[in-house]
Amino acid sequence: MNFTIAMPEIFLLSTICLILLIDVMLREDCRMISYLLTQVALLATALLAYGAMDGDKTTGLNGMYVRDDLAGVLKISILLLTFGVFVYARKYLKDQNIWQSEFFLLGLFAVLGMLVMVSANHLLVVYLGLELLALSMYALVAFNRDDGRSSEAAMKYFVLGAVASGLLLYGISILYGLSGKLELPEVLAFVSAQNVLENIPLLFALVFIVAGIAFKFGAVPFHMWVPDVYQGAPTAVTMFLGSVPKLAALAMLLRVLAESMGTAQPGWGQLLLVFGLLSVLLGNFSAIAQFNLKRMLAYSTIAHMGFILLGALTGTTQGYSAALFYTITYAMMAAGGFAVLILLGRAGFEAETLDDLKGLNERNPWYAFMMMVFLFSMAGIPPTVGFYAKLSIIQAVMQAGYLWPAVFMVVMSVIGAYYYLRAIKMMYFDKPEENAPIKADLDFTVLISVNGVLMVLLGIFPSALMSICSAAMVASHL
Amino acid sequence: MLDLPILSFLIWLPIVGGMGVLIVGDRSGAKQFALGIALLTFLLSLPLYTGFDLTTPDMQFVEFIPWVEAFKINYHLGVDGISMPLILLNTFMTVIVVIAGWEVITYRVSQYMAAFLIMAGIVNGVFAALDAMLFYILFEAMLIPLFLIIGIWGGANRVYATIKFFLYTFFGSVFLLISLIYLYQLGGSFAVADLHKLPIELTPQILIFLSFLLAFGVKVPMWPVHTWLPDAHVEAPTGGSVILAAITLKVGGYAFLRFAMPIVPDAAAQLDWLVIFMSLTAVVYIGFVALVQQDMKKLVAYSSIAHMGFVTLGFFVIYALAAKTAANPLAMSSSVLAIQGGMVQMVSHGFISGAMFLCIGVLYDRMHTRDINAYGGVANQMPVFAALYVLFAMANTGLPGTSGFVGEFMVILASFGANPLIAFAAATTLIVGAAYTLWLVKRVLFGDVKNAEVAALKDIGRREFWMLAVLAVAVLLLGLWPKPLTDVMDVSIRHLLDQALNSKLCSGLAGGCP
Q: Give B-chain residues touching A383 at CB under 8 angstroms.
A: 137, 141
CA-wise closest residue to A245 among A376, A107, A340: A107
CA distance A239 to chain B (A): 27
pLDDT of residue B1: 43
Containing B125, the helix (H) or strand (E) segment is helix B109-128
- Chain B residue with Cα closest to A426: B159
User: Helix B420-427 vs helix B403-418: angle between axes, to the nearest 10 degrees?
Assistant: 150
Containing B74, the helix (H) or strand (E) segment is strand B73-79
Average confidence (pLDDT) over B441-456: 84
Mutate to test the interface with A, among B170, B210, B214 (most CBs of A within 10 A): B170
Which pLDDT band, with edges at 50, 70 and 90, does B499 fall under? confident
pLDDT of residue B117: 92
CA-wise closest residue to A325 among A73, A147, A136: A73
- Residue B452 to residues B194, B378, B381: CA-CA distances in angstroms? 64, 11, 11
Amino acid at B36: G
Which pLDDT band, with edges at 50, 70 and 90, does A160 fall under? very high
CA quadruple A145, A151, A157, A162: dihedral, nearest 10: 80
Q: Give B-chain residues touching A381 at CB under 8 angstroms.
A: 140-141, 143-144, 170
B92 and B502 Cβ atoms separated by less than 8 Å: no
CB contact under 8 A, B68 and A413: no
User: Tens digits of per-residue pLDDT, A321-350?
Assistant: 999 999 999 999 999 999 999 998 888 788
A340 and A370 Cβ atoms separated by less than 8 Å: yes
CA pair distance A203, A209, nearest whole angstrom: 10
Among chain B, residues having any CB pair with chain A shorter than 8 Å are 22, 67-71, 108, 111, 133, 136-138, 140-141, 143-144, 147-148, 151-152, 158-159, 162-163, 166-167, 170-171, 174-175, 177-178, 181-182, 184-185
- Chain A residue with Cα closest to B137: A382
CB contact under 8 A, A418 and B167: yes
pLDDT > 80? residue B326? no
Q: Give B-chain residues touching A371 at CB under 8 angstroms.
A: none
pLDDT of residue B507: 63
User: Tens digits of per-residue pLDDT, B226-236?
Assistant: 899 998 988 88
Q: Give A-chain residues touching B167 at CB under 8 angstroms.
A: 414, 417-418, 421
- Chain B residue with Cα closest to A468: B70
Point out the residue among A361, A383, A421 whose CB comes nearest to the CB of B141. Answer: A383
CA pair distance A108, A132, nearest whole angstrom: 10
Q: Give A-chain residues touching B151 at CB under 8 angstroms.
A: 425, 428-429
CA B504 to the chain's CA centroid = 29
Percent of the residues in chain B that have a pLDDT greater than 90, as a whole number: 32
pLDDT of residue A251: 93
User: Tens digits of per-residue pLDDT, A418-465?
Assistant: 999 999 988 888 888 877 888 888 899 999 999 999 999 999 899 889
- Chain A residue with Cα closest to B148: A428
pLDDT of residue B393: 92
CA-wise closest residue to B457 among B469, B447, B466, B449: B449
A58 and A67 Cβ atoms separated by less than 8 Å: yes
CB contact under 8 A, B178 and A470: no
CA pair distance B70, B491, nearest whole angstrom: 35
CA A144 to the chain's CA centroid = 22
| Interface subset of A 235-294, CB within 8 angstroms of B | none
- DSSP structure class, residue B157: T
Higher model confidence: residue B455 or residue A297?
A297
pLDDT > 90? residue A52? no
- DSSP structure class, residue B209: H
Mutate to test the interface with A, among B163, B210, B214 (most CBs of A within 10 A): B163
| One-letter-per-residue 3-state SS of A243-264 | HHHHHHHHHHHHHHHHHHHHHH
Average confidence (pLDDT) over B269-282: 90
A74 and chain B: CB distance < 8 Å anywhere? Answer: no
Which pLDDT band, with edges at 50, 70 and 90, does A29 fall under? confident
| Interface subset of A 433-472, CB within 8 angstroms of B | 462-463, 466-467, 470
Q: Give A-chain residues touching B162 at CB under 8 angstroms.
A: 425, 429
Percent of the residues in chain B that have a pLDDT greater than 70, as a whole number: 96
Average confidence (pLDDT) over A362-367: 88
Which pLDDT band, with edges at 50, 70 and 90, does B321 fall under? confident
CB contact under 8 A, B70 and A470: yes
Average confidence (pLDDT) over B228-250: 90
CA A27 to the chain's CA centroid = 34
Average confidence (pLDDT) over B135-152: 91
Average confidence (pLDDT) over B184-206: 88
Name the phi and psi angles at B65, rounded to 5: -135, 125
pLDDT of residue B329: 57
CB contact under 8 A, A414 and B70: no
pLDDT of residue A320: 92
- DSSP structure class, residue B222: P
CB contact under 8 A, A462 and B178: no
pLDDT of residue B328: 58
Mean pLDDT over the full length of chain B: 87
CA pair distance A244, A149, nearest whole angstrom: 23
Point out the residue among A421, A429, A462 whose CB comes nearest to the CB of B152. Answer: A429
- Chain B residue with Cα closest to A385: B137
Percent of the residues in chain A that have a pLDDT greater than 90, as a whole number: 55
Point out the residue among A382, A407, A425 whose CB comes nearest to the CB of B178. Answer: A407
- DSSP structure class, residue A3: G
**ipTM of this predicted structure:** 0.87
Average confidence (pLDDT) over B53-65: 86
CB contact under 8 A, A410 and B177: yes
CB contact under 8 A, A403 and B159: no
pLDDT > 60? residue A37? yes
CA distance A261 to chain B (A): 27
Amino acid at B61: F
Q: Give B-chain residues touching A468 at CB under 8 angstroms.
A: none
pLDDT of residue A441: 87
Containing A67, the helix (H) or strand (E) segment is strand A65-67
CA distance A329 to chain B (A): 16
User: Tens digits of per-residue pLDDT, A388-402?
Assistant: 999 999 999 998 888
CB contact under 8 A, B70 and A466: yes
Mean pLDDT over the full length of chain A: 90
Task: Give every CB contact of residue A397 below 8 A, 6+ residues apart in sequence.
Answer: A310, A311, A314, A319, A405, A406, A409
pTM greater than 0.80: yes
CA pair distance A461, A436, nearest whole angstrom: 37
CA A359 to the chain's CA centroid = 30
Cβ neighbour number for residue A437 with a 10 Å cutoff: 7
Task: Give every CB contact of residue B379 below 8 A, 6+ residues apart in sequence.
Answer: B386, B445, B446
CB contact under 8 A, A392 and B182: no
Mutate to test the interface with A, among B8, B23, B147, B149 (most CBs of A within 10 A): B147
Q: Give B-chain residues touching A410 at CB under 8 angstroms.
A: 174-175, 177-178
- Chain B residue with Cα closest to A469: B70
pLDDT of residue A306: 93
Point out the residue among A395, A418, A463 whose CB comes nearest to the CB of B69. Answer: A463
CB contact under 8 A, A411 and B171: yes
Average confidence (pLDDT) over B323-338: 72
pLDDT of residue A237: 93
DSSP assignments along A289-327, one per residue: T--BHHHHHHHHHHHHHHHHHHHHHT-SHHHHHHHHHHH
CA distance B169 to chain A (A): 10
CB contact under 8 A, A410 and B167: no
Point out the residue among A383, A394, A406 whose CB comes nearest to the CB of B137. Answer: A383
pLDDT > 70? residue B508? no
Average confidence (pLDDT) over B268-284: 90
CA-wise closest residue to A381 among B136, B364, B14, B120: B136
Cβ neighbour number for residue A230 with a 10 Å cutoff: 27
CA quadruple A122, A123, A128, A129: dihedral, nearest 10: 80
pLDDT > 60? residue A133? yes
**Burial track A180-203 (b if 16+ CB lie within 10 A, e otherwise):** ebbbbeebbebbeebebeebeebb
Name the phi and psi angles at A163, rounded to 5: -60, -45
Q: Give A-chain residues touching B178 at CB under 8 angstroms.
A: 394, 398, 403, 406-407, 410
Q: Give B-chain residues touching A392 at CB under 8 angstroms.
A: 70-71
Average confidence (pLDDT) over B354-381: 88
pLDDT > 90? residue A96? no
User: How many inter-chain contacts (A to B, CB under 8 Å) are there?
Assistant: 87
| Torsion sign (Cα): A26, A27, A28, A29 | negative
* Range of weakest confidence among A206-215, B36-45, B103-112, B407-416: B103-112
CB contact under 8 A, A417 and B167: yes
CB contact under 8 A, B163 and A376: no
- Residue A285 to residues A70, A353, A424, B214, B467: CA-CA distances in angstroms? 34, 18, 18, 23, 47
User: Tens digits of per-residue pLDDT, A53-95?
Assistant: 887 888 888 888 988 889 999 999 999 999 999 999 999 988 8
Point out the residue among B136, B158, B170 whose CB comes nearest to the CB of A429. Answer: B158
**Three-state SS for B295?**
strand
Cα angle: A453, vertex A454, A457; to 5 degrees: 90
